[in-house]
Amino acid sequence: MASADVSGVIITLTDKPSTLRGTLRTRGAPDPTAIALAFPVDEEAWSSAGPSPRRMRIGRADVNGTYILPNLPPGDYFVTAVRDDDLSDLSDWFEPRLLRALSRLARQVHLGDREQRRQDLDTVMIDR
């Protein structure tokens, strides 16, 4: 295998990654059965995400309805919450048709570099 020098590459490491957290609610009460989703506002990033998308996160609520989406790169995101039973197969939740439907119901947030942001969410019903 041949090796080559690589130029123009910048690697940045941090011990303070950006994180999004909050409480998921249904009808005003914390919902331990809800799931938080974050995905980029830029639709182009949906199809080029690959098998392990850096800018797409999913997080289940704990018993208090609290969720955490760690290690998100800075950027603009749609964030929403859905009931666990609305996503029958979590492996394909980032399918573009579903993301378009979710984006109409989601909140838009900007996450800065190393930002620790709180965003509470009400669960939504997915219109497929």
The yes-or-no verdict on residue 90 having pLDDT over 70 is no
The yes-or-no verdict on residue 104 having pLDDT over 90 is yes
| Per-chain mean pLDDT for the chain | 86
Looking at residue 46, the DSSP 8-state letter turns out to be H
pLDDT of amino acid 106:
96
pTM attached to this predicted model = 0.81
pLDDT in tens, 66-76: 999 999 999 99
pLDDT of amino acid 50:
62
Quick check: 123 and 82 in contact, CB under 8 A? yes
Confidence of residue 53 (pLDDT cuts 50, 70, 90): confident
pLDDT of amino acid 24:
97
pLDDT in tens, 17-30: 899 999 999 999 99
Q: Where are the domains of the chain?
A: 19-124
Higher pLDDT, 11 or 64: 64
Confidence of residue 64 (pLDDT cuts 50, 70, 90): very high
Quick check: 41 and 76 in contact, CB under 8 A? yes
Helix, strand and coil in the chain, % to nearest 5: 15, 35, 50
In this structure, are strands 57-60 and 107-111 parallel, antiparallel, or unpaired?
Answer: unpaired
- What superfamily would CATH give domain 19-124? Carboxypeptidase-like, regulatory domain (2.60.40.1120)
Alpha helices by DSSP H, listed for the chain, are: 44-47, 96-103
